[in-house]
Amino acid sequence: MSTLLAHEVIVRPVISEKSIDLSNREPNHRYTFEVHPSANKIQIKAAIEELYRKENVTVVGVNVLTTKAKEKRRGTRRGRIVGYTTPWRKAIVTLAAGQKIEFFEGV
């Protein structure tokens, strides 16, 4: 098992309509993050609690899923180009009741 630092485990927060909707639900707030491909749930939980220790968050649950690569096609004057999207891994983190991560004020 490789040793990853907290900022290596969490790549970025995922900003989408669905993830914003999940983060605003009461009482448990759920946040979505892109994570390192080899990170496990224990590392993800520790990284979230370390990175957001100013807000004093407690992670209750972590769900992890890997999105598969999809084929993308586009046409040009010279013909058709076929490519693939990058596969990536995301984690949906559930915080304890009443806790929030304040990184989107006013969104």
Per residue in 1-50, pLDDT (tens digit) is 568 999 999 999 999 999 989 888 888 889 999 999 999 999 999 999 99
- 106 pLDDT band, cuts 50/70/90, is low
CATH 3.30.70.330 fits 6-95, yes or no: yes
The pLDDT, as a whole number, for residue 105 is 57
In the chain, what percentage of residues exceed pLDDT 90?
65
Where do the H-state alpha helices sit in 12-93? Answer: 17-23, 41-51
Summarize the confidence of residues 70-92 as an average pLDDT. Answer: 90
Report the candidate in 32, 34, 29, 33 with the shortest Cα–Cα distance to residue 58: 29
Q: Tell me the pTM.
A: 0.85
In the chain, what percentage of residues exceed pLDDT 70?
94
14 neighbors 93 (Cβ within 8 angstroms): no
